[in-house]
Amino acid sequence: MVKRGRIVAFLLILVVLAGTIGMTVTGVTKDIRLGLDLQGGFEILYEVQPVDEDQEVNQQVLEATAAALDDRVNALGISETNINIEDGGRIRVQLAGVEDQQQARDLLSTTAELTFRGTDGKKYLDGSDLVEGSAQQSFDSRTNEPVVTIELKSASKMYDVSSDIVDKGDDPSTPYPDNVMVIWLDYSEKDTTFAEEYGKEDPAYISAPGFREGPIRSTNVEISGNFTVESAKDLADILNAGSLPAELDEIYSESVGAQFGEQAMNKTILAGFIGVAIIFLFMMAYYRFPGVIAVVTLSTYIYLILVVFEWMNGVLTLPGIAALILGVGMAVDANIITYERVKEELKAGKSVMSAYKAGNKRSLSTIMDANITTLIAATVLFIFGTSSVKGFATMLIVSILVSFITAVYGTRLFMGLWVKSRFLNKRPKWFGVKPEDIKDIEAGEEVEAKVMGRKFDFVGLRKRFFTISIVLVVAGILALALFRLNLGIDFTNGSRVSILSDQGNIDLEQVEQTLDEEFGVTPEQVVSAGENGEIAIARFDKELDKDTISDIQSYYEDEYGSAPNVSTVSPVVAKELAKNAALAVLYASIGIIIYVTIRFEIFFALTAIIALLHDAFFIIALFSITRVEFDITIIAAILTIVGYSVNDTIVTFDRIRENLKMRKKVKSFKELAQVVNESLMQTLARSINTVLTVIFAALMLLIFGASSITNFSFALVIGLIAGTYSSLFIASQLWLVWRGRNIKDNPIQFVKKKNSGGPQV
């Protein structure tokens, strides 16, 4: 008898979920902070240097400098600011949504040491003589020109200084008057003098006022110069923010135009919608009713990811959106593992209730192991990644944790209501199981693992698989030796300028000529990107200075209506990124070896690592052959594949271990080979279906996503294919050869621990 109350409960929960998501999702998405690459802005990494030889750059100096930078940013009215102190005496500043990037850059890096000097460079007053916060933009009462007014602490000191200058008089031997007070910002006697700057259209000093009415007896001083209202306000803001406690050396920067960010976000969200829709359709078509349940839990998963990210006050970046989309493909893996086990149990002749319970029980440890190994790779990625890569890693970690809740417990809740209602009894077709495939459990019939109705001897072909991999690895080594990698500026240092045209195709030769003739910088290469060649990417083997960057951005914003993206990386940062990339892969491998050894055995762990290094190498070799630029996001892709590859391998290993337990003792190579082959056949459908769902997502990112993550998506697609191949045909086969060598002398057997019901090798 059908218990309709459970079905009604399911429908009520569904209505409540749909209503909650529908009413709140807009507010949640609106409150999520967008990164630079989605709304424009810039990021700068400063190395903090001492002002003089006696100063030590300690934590106190770093904190004071960060606080001063924060004050300056507040003067610009920028709400989305992120200023972090990093190891090695560095400060990273991220300003999202800033309109005038050059203004913000100048405001940040200016040390703001205001000094009042004579024409000979003698210092009379400095910023410490000013009343804090007194600077403001005003207008000259006589000329109505913009000026800056300041208030001094001591009227008598101002009188003594102005008297001394007035008494000097004019020196007829010099082309400039000597009885003026020269006002400097960040004066450097080595770099410039008043004599050198006098008469220039845009001198390095701010102003050189005289004293028309004799010495000044007031604390109020007016600074005049060739100011506009904006430049006068900027100077007032800098003076009010005060001097920086230390000097800042810019060693890395990335600038993103607002239109670039908007286009990237729109394209990637579209790619996400298409990828997720394909995954939903595939799940419903292949798994029937359980596929519908998966769509419900995956929809809940996407909503919860956004909610958690908003609660964390996380910054959503372009790689972060990619991680969310990929997370859907990975989250569905837990559903696929469970559903495949349920289908196996149904085919074995069990009732729906028994099949459901057995499928859940047997799949849980597999899902746990697979998620934890991916989590290890994501955590390492977060620790060693740069800002945008950290955003990707953060989203990936959140995705793994939330997907476990929704895909395991959410699916069990919803499926449990239907199974316990008994509505699904005697309806195997609702699970995608044909009645003729169901065995008679009472007659002792057993399910034979088959693919498309046939049995394959994968183990018997292991030498061919090994040969294919060896040939490809050798070819990859030759390719790397001959062509090397086309390393991006992240690893070689230099600058990259990405120019976006709203008019379609850009003439690359004209871009190269303009950069050379107008700005005196010759690009190493200029390549086209985008669907219609609307993006030109110019790469330089040196760092462009901030004035050149400002001029290039202004020129192309006038030319094409969009400010170019500009990235600069110093040699110091490039070396660190390369070092951190290598360490990330190393530490992820060590972490996975330790975990798999604890959960399985050392032979499983080592073969899993060989398989994942095999996958990582294929990505690197293919980038060498195709000459596609290899940048820091590719490391994120490699580590994602590392996690995914081990995830896939763990599922096969888990089934091998389960089948070994059922046999209790295996003492010949032939018997061990049968176990491995049977395990491969049993997990093949799950492996193929899982990789298909993740590839759907990665392919959509590659085809429809923003050009800035094209290389990242390409690496993912290649890595996913290589990962599935190695998990099925390399890792398990290698384990068989390795473990089977001494199986006669050291047979595999499972015994029960004392005081425990669990089997043990």
274 closest CA partner among 712, 721, 704, 716: 704
Per-residue model confidence as pLDDT tens digits over 8-63: 999 999 999 999 999 998 888 888 887 777 777 788 888 888 877 777 888 888 88
- Domain 36-109+244-256 sits in CATH 3.30.70.3400: yes
Fold annotation for 258-409: Multidrug efflux transporter AcrB transmembrane fold (1.20.1640)
The answer to whether residue 278 scores a pLDDT higher than 50 is yes
Q: Which structure tokens are listed for 322?
A: 């990619």
The set of residues, in sequence order, having a beta carbon less than 8 Å from that of 243 and lying 6+ positions away, is 68, 111, 112, 113, 114, 127
Alpha carbon distance 540, 538 (integer Å):
7
pLDDT band at 457 (very low <50, low <70, confident <90, very high): confident
C-alpha 576/C-alpha 88 separation (Å) is: 11
Per CATH, 36-109+244-256 and 494-569 having the same topology is answered yes
- Does residue 544 or residue 561 have the better pLDDT? 544
- Taking only the tens place, the pLDDT of each residue in 488-521 is 888 888 999 999 887 777 888 899 999 998 899 9
Task: Please report which residue ranges of 242-317 form alpha helices under DSSP H.
Answer: 258-287, 289-311
711-715: long-range pairs with CB below 8 Å, 24+: 711/628, 711/629, 711/630, 711/631, 711/633, 711/634, 712/319, 712/322, 712/633, 712/634, 712/636, 712/637, 713/322, 714/628, 715/619, 715/623, 715/634, 715/637, 715/638, 715/641
| Least confidently predicted of 28-37, 208-217, 243-252, 672-681 | 208-217
Ranges assigned E (strand) in 98-219: 114-117, 123-126, 136-139, 146-151, 182-185
Torsion of Cα atoms, 85 then 90 then 94 then 98, to 10°: 120
Distance separating alpha carbons of residues 9 and 640, to the nearest angstrom: 38
DSSP secondary structure letters along 696-723:
HHHHHHHHHS-GGGHHHHHHHHHHHHHH
Instruction: Tell me what the pLDDT averaged over the chain comes to.
Output: 82
DSSP states along 41-84: EEEEEEEEE-SSTT----HHHHHHHHHHHHHHHHHHT-SSEEEE
**CATH fold for the domain made of 114-241:** Gyrase A; domain 2 (3.30.1360)
Cβ neighbours around 336 below 10 Å, total: 26
Grouping H, G, I as helix, E, B as strand and the rest as coil, residue 523 is coil
Backbone angle region of 320, left / alpha / beta, with phi > 0 → left and psi within -120 to 50 → alpha: alpha
pTM assigned to the model: 0.74
* The CATH number of the domain covering residues in 494-569: 3.30.70.260
Cα–Cα distance measured from residue 279 to residue 697, given in angstroms and rounded to the nearest whole number: 8
**What whole-number distance in Å separates Cα of residue 114 and Cα of residue 126?**
5
The distance in angstroms from the start CA to the end CA of the chain is 45
Q: Give 3-state DSSP helix, strand, coil % of the chain, rounded to 5.
A: 60, 15, 25
Q: Token pair 């024409």 is at which residue?
A: 119
Placement of tokens 């919860």 in the chain? 304
Residue entry with tokens 């400098």: 65
Q: Can you give the three-state secondary structure of 364-402, one letter per residue? A: HHHHHHHHHHHHHHHHHHHHHCCHHHHHHHHHHHHHHHH
CATH H-level, domain 459-484+573-760: superfamily? Multidrug efflux transporter AcrB transmembrane domain (1.20.1640.10)
Rg (CA), the chain: 33
- Residue 283: name the closest of 297, 302, 273 by CA: 297
Q: Residue 83 and residue 574: Cα distance in Å, rounded?
A: 21
Dihedral angle computed from the Cα positions of residues 18, 19, 20 and 21, in that order, rounded to the nearest 10 degrees: 50
What's the confidence (pLDDT) of residue 292? 93
Note the pLDDT of residue 12. 94
Q: How many CB atoms lie within 10 A of CB 141?
A: 8
Structure confidence by residue, pLDDT tens digits, 152-162: 888 888 888 88
Q: What percent of the chain has pLDDT over 70?
A: 93
Q: At what angle do helices 632-663 and 352-384 cross, to 10 degrees?
A: 140
Q: Where are the domains of the chain?
A: 36-109+244-256, 114-241, 258-409, 459-484+573-760, 494-569
Q: Once rounded to an integer, what is the mean pLDDT over residues 480-495?
A: 88
Identify the CA nearest to 97 among candidates 76, 69, 78: 78
